[in-house]
Structures are given as structure tokens and as C-alpha cells.
Amino acid sequence: MNNLSDYVIPFIVLCIVLYGIKKKVNVYDTFVEGSKESFDMTLKIFPSLLAMVVGVNIFLKSGVLDFIFSYLKPIFNIINVQVEILPMAIMRPISGSAALAILNDIFLNYGPDSLIGKISSIIQGSTDTTFYVLTLYFGSIGIKKIKYAMWAGLFCDLVGIIGAIIIGNMLF
Amino acid sequence: MINKIWCSFIIIGIIFSLFTGRMDIITSEILKSSETALNMIVKIFPVMALWLGIMNIALKSGMLNKLSKLVYPVLKIIFPEIPKKHESLGYITTNIVMNVFGLGNAATPFGLKAMKSLQELNEKKDTASRSMITFLVINTSGVTLVPTTVISLRMLYNSVSPGGIMFGCILVTIISLTCGLIFDRILWRINK
């Protein structure tokens, strides 16, 4: 199953090219023409990406989250949940690279096969960086009013994190 | 909304670091951020160029259209506002397929194309449409069968079974996606 990903891309590319030939499309020219669009798209997302990086990094480096952790820790202890997962859980929706760095630390300190390592793996594997997706996807088409999108996205993350903790404790 | 979040991130962050004495770190972080963003773009750009090229073949040959027709019965339930045969259905499907196989980077260009094509259906161009938010929920719930990044990181730390968390991931993904889609419906009804 690990190698499944290795087959997907070549298979998709082959299918698309073969289908293109069958439908008498000039496959090469069409590829080049489509690829050109990436310049425009990349330039369009850069400003919103930059804005997000500035905001998120100021927030993360200020130490606000450490402050929040210190208050959440006792609550986690009361409901008997692994406190070590907390930084990972809070970081995941905000910054993908920061969450990955924390996961790295967890593997280093507790090992990937510990319960903490496994639960963190599931959190990383089954949720996505909501803020990144939000700014990138809406920024690229100039959406300013996002309505309830953030709440829906964060709710998904919350369910994913709680689900990972419960299922992790049940499975392993 | 994004405006409010952005401002609160900056204001809370800077005021808080006044108390924690981290002003030097914040200064370098602000100055460094455009470089960080550029590095991210540099990583995204080649992936985008590649997949937009390949995807254009699928679009011009009518393959995308065929795919849209195929998945329409399922997507119709999740995205009731997208008309049959609309281009966005094909992009949404490819985005989900790429995510499912853990190819997150390759999924992004299709996600952006899907948004662009959903924007054509959108009546208020500066406001997120219902379909856009639903699509966003699917993306943030991280529909993944093979979490490639996590598995390779686990291998790096000599895990006995790097893929042992896959079943858990799938289970959690199904739960969070289902809950997310239901919550999205509820919020939409309230905001209607």
C-alpha cells in the first residue's frame, strides 16, 4: 500500500496522454499552453500567501500559544488525555510546517511507535492546514467575504483532532 | 473575516511579545517573512506548471468532461449548486483523487482551478459561494488514504510499521469529513 502512490502519477499521466492522442489533440502544444497559466496563478497567490506568513509568524513567535498551553494543560490532565499532543493539535490548522516540526520532535522524544507518536501521526495525516488552504484558495480568486468558511474548516480540524485522540486510544 | 483574523494575529502577537520580551525575534520574523513566502511560492510554482500543463491535455481532449459526468451523481449530493457537466466538477474530482493518494502538492493546482471555475458560477464575486465553502471543507478535512509525508517521516525514525497508522487516519478522515459536511450544511442554512 505504501507503494501505491508510486503508481498513481505515472498512471494518470499515461492515461491523459493516451486519451489526448485518441481524441487527436496536439498533446505537446496543449501541455505548454496549459503550463503557461501557472505564471499568472503563482503571481496571483503570492500577496495573500505573504500576508498569511507575516500574520501567522508574528502570532506564533510571540509565545501566545505557550501561554495558552499552560492553561489548557490542567484540563487535558483532568480528562486523562496525553498533554504532549496539545502543541501539535493547536498548530496543525495554523501552520503546516510548524506542525511537521513538532511531529518531528515527538518522534525524536517518544518514538514513532509510542501512543503519543501514533496519535500525532494520525492528526498530521488526517487533517489539513485550514489557514493555508483558506488564504490560498480564496486569495487566488479575490474572495474577500469568506462567510462561515473558517468556522466550517476549523470545526473539521477539531473533529479530526478529537477523533484522532479517541481512535488512537482505542486502537493502540 | 480574513481581515479581522489577520489584524488580530498581528496585534495579539506584537502586544504579547512586548510582555515576553521577544521583540528581537518578532523583528527578524517580520523582515524574513517575504523570503519565507517566496520560498513557498518557489516550491509551489514548478508543481503548478507541471500539473496545469498535464491537466490542459485532459481538458482539451474532453477527458475532464467525461470524468465530471461520471462523478456527477455523487458530487450532486455534496454540491447541489453546480450544474451538470460543469468544468469545476472535473477539477474537484482530480483534487480529491490527488489528496486521497497523499499527493498534497499536486492537489493544490487543481484546487485553485476548481476555485476559479466555481467563481464563474458565483453571483457575488467578492463573497464565497456555498460550493466554494463546501469544497474548502473537503480540503481542510484532509481526505487522505495514504498520508505520504507522515509515513516517510515515520520510516525515517525507524518505526516498526510506518503505515500502521493508515487505518486510523482513514477512520478519522471519514468521521471529520462527514461531520464537516453536515456542519457546513447547518451553517449554510443558518446564513441563508
The reply to whether residue A62 touches residue B20, judged by beta carbons under 8 angstroms, is yes
Q: How confident is the model at residue A3 (pLDDT cuts 50, 70, 90)?
A: low
Q: Which of A71, A126, A144, A147 to mutate against chain B (most B CBs within 10 Å)?
A: A126
**Does B103 have pLDDT greater than 90?**
no
pLDDT of residue A104: 92
Residue range B37-96, pLDDT digits in tens: 999 889 889 988 998 999 899 999 998 888 888 888 999 999 999 998 888 999 999 999
Per the CB < 8 A criterion, the answer to whether B112 and B44 are in contact is no
pLDDT over 90, % of chain B: 57
Residue range B171-183, pLDDT digits in tens: 999 999 999 999 9
Residues 150-169 of chain B whose Cβ lies under 8 A from any Cβ of chain A: 150-151, 153-154, 156-169
Residue range A30-40, pLDDT digits in tens: 999 999 989 98
pLDDT of residue B26: 92
Burial of B41 (0-12, 13-18, 19+ CB in 10 A): middle
**Does B162 have pLDDT greater than 70?**
yes
The residues near A69 (Cβ < 8 Å, ≥ 6 apart) are: A86, A87, A90
Alpha-carbon span A65 to B161, nearest angstrom: 32
Alpha-carbon span A50 to A43, nearest angstrom: 11
The reply to whether residue B61 touches residue A16, judged by beta carbons under 8 angstroms, is yes
Write out the H or E segment, with its range, that includes residue A139. helix A130-140
Distances (CA, A) of B118 to A9, A132, A143, B114, B130: 26, 19, 12, 6, 10
Residue range A58-88, pLDDT digits in tens: 998 888 888 888 888 888 888 878 888 888 8
ipTM for this prediction? 0.86
Alpha-carbon span B190 to B43, nearest angstrom: 39
**Does B142 have pLDDT greater than 90?**
no
What DSSP state is assigned to residue B164?
G
Distances (CA, A) of A110 to A115, B60, B154: 9, 51, 12
pLDDT of residue B105: 78
pLDDT of residue A4: 62
pLDDT of residue B144: 81
> b/e map of A29-57 (b: 16 or more CB within 10 Å)?
ebbeebbebbeebbebbbebbbbbbbbbb
Q: Which of B25, B27, B30, B61 to mutate against chain A (most A CBs within 10 Å)?
A: B61
Domain boundaries, chain A: 39-171
Q: Which of A7, A19, A38 to mutate against chain B (most B CBs within 10 Å)?
A: A38
A71 min Cα distance to partner chain B (Å): 16
Alpha-carbon span A104 to A110, nearest angstrom: 10
Give the A:B interface size as CB pairs under 8 Å. 345
User: A111 — alpha (psi -120 to 50), left (phi > 0) or beta?
Assistant: left
